[in-house]
Structure 1
Amino acid sequence: MDEDRVGLLHGVLRSMTTLTRVFAARGTHPFKDRALGRREMDVMFFVSQPGTMTVRRLAEALGVTSGAISQVLPKLERIGLIAVDVDPLDRRHRLVRATESAAAEVTAFQDEYVRTLLPEFHPLSDSELVELDRLLAKVHSAQGVGDGATAAVLAAESAAVTPAAGRAVAAEFAAEAPSG
């Protein structure tokens, strides 16, 4: 293993952790009044994007099986965070979407996350933020998760010069936040 490269990566991860802690100190995460596990929180961040997603596509995006996703959907539906419908074009598939209130809660959390971290990124120009976003997307796509669904969702939610910047990081933080 190239020790210089290992040292560089340690520095990058240290910086990312420091950024996450800036927000974590606030103790904020969505759905505080509900006990959601990491997988459930991951599902919520993906299905809170505009439109619907099939169970299969959601599983591919998260790098898990459709069965794993199917196990968490009943609870999320029962507590009113998602709606699951039969695909009218292909009745073999189920379409998953966040309820309006759940999507609004995720969006509000993500926007707060971005506003909180915005001062930390002040030293970077807009073009540097675009480059950072591109580099992180490159690292992510190299992981080979699913068929690119994850990269597509992350790209859609993280245009680097818009308020949506950082939503992928916000989702990761919330998934790690203590529930309840």
Structure 2
Amino acid sequence: MTDRRLAIDAWESLFRAQHEIFDDINDDFHENTLSQAEYDVLLTVTRGDDMTARLRDVTANMLISQPSVSRLVDRMAARGLIAKCADPDDGRGSLVRATDAGAAAFRRIASAHGRAIAERMSLLSDDELAQLRDLTAKLRKKQPGC
């Protein structure tokens, strides 16, 4: 059986580390270029075929509610970062595609953001990074009966 106190200590440590690291690397984002949320949308979209993703897939990758994602996507479309159109395979769904301007803005920030992440995570060895990746993936899986 899991030691409850150890589980709580581990959770608090994970949460605090995530928060501190996020604060350190959040300087890569500015409202006049791309916000963190806009970057996250473009991350999903630019990974798709033809830099396109279903809106529901964008929503699934975000840590905000579906209505908030919809409003964010609409604001990004108004700024010319993405284009939104009906999904021909799903009459109720939408497709989101990165525009040239959106893809260029994403690439500029992704390069600096990747360097900041690598620098912050360089405190860990490659073996430790792999272990951290595997452990957090394990934590993200839903347990049976949940």
Q: Paired residue for 1:132?
A: 132
Which of 45, 48, 53 lines up with 1:47 in the alignment?
45
Structure scoring higher RCO (CA < 8 A, sep ≥ 6) equals 1
The alpha-carbon deviation at position 122 of structure 1 amounts to 2.9
Q: How many pairs are equivalent? A: 138
Report which of the two has the higher share of strand: 2
- Match of 2:14, SS state, is helix
Q: CA, structure 1 residues 121+57, in 2 after alignment: closer, same or farther (shift >3 Å)?
A: closer
Aligned pair partner of 1:4 in 2, 6, 9:
6
What is the percentage of aligned positions where both structures have the same residue? 25
Q: Could you tell me whether the CA contact under 8 Å between 1:48 and 1:102 is conserved in 2?
A: no
Structure with the larger helix share: 2
5+ residue gaps, structure 1: 144-180
- The alignment partner of 1:83 has SS state of strand
CA pair 68-2 structure 1, distance change in 2 beyond 3 A: same
Q: Is the 8 A contact 2:33 2:105 kept in 1?
A: no
User: Residues 116 and 59 (structure 1 numbering): CA distance in 2 closer, same or farther, change over 3 Å?
Assistant: closer
Alpha-carbon shift at residue 53 of structure 1 (Å): 1.6
Alignment TM-score, normalising by the size of structure 1? 0.58
**1:33 aligns to what?**
32
C-alpha distance in 2, partners of 1:10/1:129? 19
Aligned pairs (5 A) from 1:153-164: none
State the TM-score, normalized to the length of structure 2.
Answer: 0.68
Give the greater-gyration-radius structure (CA): 2
Q: 1:133 to 1:76 in 2, by over 3 A?
A: same
Q: CA RMSD in A?
A: 3.2
Deviation per residue, 1:105-145 (Å, 9 max, x gap) = 223323312312323333433233222222222223339xx
Moved more, 6-15 or 85-94: 85-94
Residue type at the aligned position of 2:7:
R
CA distance in 2, matches of 1:68, 1:120: 30
SS of the counterpart of 1:33?
coil
Q: Corresponding residue for 1:16? A: 18
Instruction: Give distance in 1, aligned partners of 2:88 and 2:106.
Output: 27
Partner in structure 2 of residue 141 of structure 1 = 141
- Partner of 1:75, secondary structure, is helix
